[in-house]
Structure 1
């Protein structure tokens, strides 16, 4: 028996985003939904068919497959499908069938389009991956949680003043929260120690914190803005403000935090790097990268801008190290170019980066000149490691003699990899196709890059092997709307957002660039250029860019949260700690990536 209007209304009241629509809008949407029933095994729509609207599973189960028949999603009640086609040309980009007897609700295309044209929860829900416009990082509009420089440090009211002072000294802070039974009861600052202990001649051993602390200090909720901090500090003439969640102590924000926030910018850091006289000066600048990442993420800056700024810092450090090496070892005997590959080559560095680099030397090179280049490679590589860009675990560095060679040797490398694309050749070619000159004579690379792209793209066997290699990193999709998480160890129940998140898209972008002989190394730039070159369709490019944006941004947000919590950032994200809204969109983004991988594997170099 088909559901009644009352049944449909009650059902939609439990489904997001409909449960958040204004009452009048909700009533209109309910009236526009039509009900359709499908028997077990029946097709709901096939790829390429004109969609009847947005589908919503009310009862039963729906299986969605790509063009090759691969199951990419199994949907249960409250799951929507068909929106990708509706946001494109109106035609289905997948196929869907009922796994069991199923009832779906269908919202007509014109109603879907109307809702998507309006700002609000409906558009935010379905326009996944499309972030807000970047805005200038303004301290006054920042959340307090993004302004705090470190995780909370606290003592108890019954602790001695000496113990509290030692904690402040050892942790290099000027204040402590005073916590009792999990509740903030006071604040102790270095000024309190000076004016209430030393000036009064009190014993640091016998005096308790409770006797000299500020009782029940003014606090701010974690969601307060920087403007609130400034106003309270000015009004009360104080330099420390506790941040609380109810009575729970979250941290402390200080005038130093505000000053540091205003002072941190990639431009300022690069200026310091250019003027640094030694590695210690460079390391002092790069030590602030985590705070810069938090600042940018808190300012809602697009991920491709954040990673570009962070990579600019790595480039500046590399160039400065090369110059310092030349000051130490003398001028180079022949021209050379220092190149980066990996995430630095693609201008996609985050808060977690190792180093991947190599040197192309002019063909006038003779072996007697090798010690100079060995000294250069060791000096720069050691300097990068000291600045936080750790040594490459795969030894893909200029310190490896194999990756410090004249141009004619590099040409033979590329020709050999293209002619004999065994697994090792595919891996090396994948890395080297992301090369980008950093310092030295860039023209030593430019001609070889164009030549290599042209030769590689004409070799259909090599292209086929590169396509196959690009499919080895699979998005972490499980059955029944779940995720394939790490099963054991330190990162159990987490997703590797590097190898199973961004790398599958990086691999796709690299293959598209190879097919169309595109010169950009940046993944997002490659996807955009691939659409313009006709390698992928407009709809495919739009979906893939949106999916990549969402995956990359969640990766950065997760790293920023780890930094704020005082942890070393990594690439592991716990998806089940997110709400249904973000978790659903993250999975949908992975589905898009898998769909594009499938299309590439079945159609080779054809438009997908």
Structure 2
């Protein structure tokens, strides 16, 4: 961190756009202020006398009900919304840790935005983004990232790297070899690892970089980035598209693009010390669902945010297990299938998971991994992710195997697609890595998709298997409801609602060799790739959106009533208009199933 206020401002956007004389004046006008953890910097509704910039520490921003809106770190600003409106604080700001701030007096701030258009545009963009925070989660990383980030090679001296960062006013450099990203170096690395350790200026940057940094594709949601940053306590996110570096997103970029209280849940999960702590945190998911549905978020956003909490919970349990058992004897990868694998968890979910182990595993190592699987599955069950009724969990010996065995599984299912193989393949084609060494899955997934797509007999059996779940259509424009039992006169919005579309999406992904696991992403890829006609594909997307949103709205109503959410809805709960359109959606699904069964819905 630079020592002088002017140096800090010169490396912070939008002040880096100021001419030298304006920057000099600003540095002389602002005030540096230290605040202790827990200090309220200003309460909601109080008069604002300054805009604040964080130099060190973290600041929580909450709304009038106390709900967490964002967690801000160094180089983030806050308070501008109130200053640009009526001079009153629109939120409450509280120091989450010992922090140091720069306070820009209100009159100075107003003069800045009046005299410098680039500064004005920066803060004017921030205002509507925060006011419409329910829409932020739908934004894609491609819309926010900084394209073409600055790069260096691993052999670049740390002095040259620092000079490049100073010259361009950036806080990081991507370290690349050819087209491959091998690491990232930040100002924090240069301070903590180079300067503090007294490294020579000609030391290669590889000595202080973070190797193989976490990255996301440009199609990822803004909420994905926020959750990863909060959970893993990182401040820079490289953006990789098909193996190619296309951009970077920093914590500063996220200042005005915070997700709703799902960020608070993930932060609490990352800080949890016990399974009991996790249980209390995950118990807040139903209220999160109500909030997100009430905010008219798209169903794929709601389920993605809820699944993010489930992913973070799983990773925290894996870490707890390793704290108890010690480091693993060989590399492993924990994967989820089912709704978690597809990033489609709702207010009610069981667990479906497995373990892929490195081929170096020896028989005596299984005791460790069985104990790890038991700890995690028991923890997930305690948190409300109930044991899979079909025992599709890593606790089962069958689903805790070395990579070579998993390769044999898929080869056998594809070569001999009997009913059990079809069922297992359907489940396992939804696998998504959650925690561990992801290299154990990359080749297996690519090889399996290629082999499966090239086997027309297997594809035909998978299509036939996908038609077993049918939409609940009855005669005379009615619904085929459950005939007896606890859910008599209700329709199952999971198995007969979204289920048939999930099955179709999996078939399209298989035929197109798409690595996507999310159903909506699979449908979009199928349209782009020609696995379905544009008209039929768009109709199916619209039908999926209607059915999935009806399911979430049903669960939200149950939660608001104090009931446990489920997937069974009585058609009488809907208006005539809603029933008519929901039935039309089921007709679209039935039509697409028929086309797939006749070979017209997919490429042959």
1:568 aligns with 2:564: yes
Deviation at 1:576, TM superposition (A): 2.2
1:379 equivalent in structure 2:
375
Deviation at 1:342, TM superposition (A): 0.2
1:290 to 258, 278, 286: 286
Deviation at 1:606, TM superposition (A): 3.9
2:215 equivalent in structure 1:
none
1:354 to 341, 350, 353: 350
1:91 equivalent in structure 2:
none
Q: Give the Cα–Cα distance (whole angstroms) in 2 for the partners of residues 590 and 340 of structure 1.
A: 28
2:598 equivalent in structure 1:
602
Q: Give the Cα–Cα distance (whole angstroms) in 2 for the partners of residues 603 and 333 of structure 1.
A: 48
1:336 aligns with 2:309: no
Q: Structure 1 pair 522/541, CA: closer, same or farther in 2 (3 Å)?
A: same
Q: Which runs of 5+ in 2 are unaligned?
A: 1-129, 136-257
1:477 to 470, 473, 478: 473
1:426 equivalent in structure 2:
422
1:413 equivalent in structure 2:
409
Asked if the contact 1:311–1:347 (Cα under 8 Å) also holds between the matched residues in 2, the reply is: yes
Asked if the contact 2:134–2:260 (Cα under 8 Å) also holds between the matched residues in 1, the reply is: no
Asked if the contact 2:133–2:260 (Cα under 8 Å) also holds between the matched residues in 1, the reply is: no
1:530 to 526, 533, 558: 526
Q: Give the Cα–Cα distance (whole angstroms) in 1 for the partners of residues 578 and 600 of structure 2.
A: 33
Q: Secondary structure at the match of 1:499?
A: helix
2:366 equivalent in structure 1:
370
Deviation at 1:428, TM superposition (A): 0.2
Q: Structure 1 pair 137/494, CA: closer, same or farther in 2 (3 Å)?
A: farther
Asked if the contact 1:378–1:399 (Cα under 8 Å) also holds between the matched residues in 2, the reply is: yes
1:314 equivalent in structure 2:
310
Asked if the contact 1:294–1:564 (Cα under 8 Å) also holds between the matched residues in 2, the reply is: yes
Q: Secondary structure at the match of 2:598?
A: helix
Q: Structure 1 pair 373/537, CA: closer, same or farther in 2 (3 Å)?
A: same
Q: Give the Cα–Cα distance (whole angstroms) in 1 for the partners of residues 265 and 562 of structure 2.
A: 22
Q: Give the Cα–Cα distance (whole angstroms) in 2 for the partners of residues 602 and 547 of structure 1.
A: 21
1:105 equivalent in structure 2:
none
Q: Secondary structure at the match of 1:603?
A: coil
Q: TM-score under structure 2 normalisation? A: 0.57
Q: Which runs of 5+ in 1 are unaligned?
A: 1-133, 140-261
Encode CA deviations 1:136-162: one digit per residue, 9 max, x unaligned: 4679xxxxxxxxxxxxxxxxxxxxxxx
Q: Secondary structure at the match of 1:567?
A: coil
1:489 equivalent in structure 2:
485
Q: Give the Cα–Cα distance (whole angstroms) in 2 for the partners of residues 606 and 397 of structure 1.
A: 32
1:400 aligns with 2:399: no
Task: Map 1:13-412; keep pairs closer than 5 Å.
Answer: 136=132, 265-412=261-408
Q: Secondary structure at the match of 2:433?
A: strand
Q: TM-score under structure 1 normalisation? A: 0.57
Asked if the contact 1:518–1:529 (Cα under 8 Å) also holds between the matched residues in 2, the reply is: yes
Q: Give the Cα–Cα distance (whole angstroms) in 2 for the partners of residues 421 and 401 of structure 1.
A: 22
Asked if the contact 1:414–1:429 (Cα under 8 Å) also holds between the matched residues in 2, the reply is: yes
1:506 equivalent in structure 2:
502
Q: Give the Cα–Cα distance (whole angstroms) in 2 for the partners of residues 317 and 426 of structure 1.
A: 30
Encode CA deviations 1:468-524: one digit per residue, 9 max, x unaligned: 000000000011101000111111110000000000000000000001100000000
2:441 equivalent in structure 1:
445
Q: Give the Cα–Cα distance (whole angstroms) in 1 for the partners of residues 399 and 341 of structure 2.
A: 15
Give structure 1 regions of 4+ aligned residues with deviation exceeding 6 angstroms. Answer: none
1:520 aligns with 2:516: yes
User: Max radius of gyration: which structure?
Assistant: 1
Q: Secondary structure at the match of 2:401?
A: strand
Q: Structure 1 pair 135/336, CA: closer, same or farther in 2 (3 Å)?
A: farther
Deviation at 1:135, TM superposition (A): 9.1
Q: Secondary structure at the match of 1:482?
A: coil
Q: Structure 1 pair 385/494, CA: closer, same or farther in 2 (3 Å)?
A: same
Q: Give the Cα–Cα distance (whole angstroms) in 2 for the partners of residues 472 and 360 of structure 1.
A: 30
Higher relative contact order by CA 8 Å / sep ≥ 6: 1 or 2? Answer: 1
1:464 aligns with 2:451: no
Encode CA deviations 1:51-97: one digit per residue, 9 max, x unaligned: xxxxxxxxxxxxxxxxxxxxxxxxxxxxxxxxxxxxxxxxxxxxxxx
Deviation at 1:284, TM superposition (A): 1.1
Q: Give the Cα–Cα distance (whole angstroms) in 2 for the partners of residues 342 and 492 of structure 1.
A: 26
Asked if the contact 2:592–2:601 (Cα under 8 Å) also holds between the matched residues in 1, the reply is: no
Q: Secondary structure at the match of 1:437?
A: strand
Q: Structure 1 pair 135/345, CA: closer, same or farther in 2 (3 Å)?
A: farther
Asked if the contact 1:137–1:296 (Cα under 8 Å) also holds between the matched residues in 2, the reply is: no
Asked if the contact 1:555–1:571 (Cα under 8 Å) also holds between the matched residues in 2, the reply is: yes
Q: Calculate the aligned-residue CA RMSD, in Å.
A: 2.0
Asked if the contact 1:137–1:299 (Cα under 8 Å) also holds between the matched residues in 2, the reply is: no
Q: Structure 1 pair 322/484, CA: closer, same or farther in 2 (3 Å)?
A: same
Q: Give the Cα–Cα distance (whole angstroms) in 1 for the partners of residues 575 and 265 of structure 2.
A: 36
Q: Give the Cα–Cα distance (whole angstroms) in 1 for the partners of residues 386 and 469 of structure 2.
A: 24
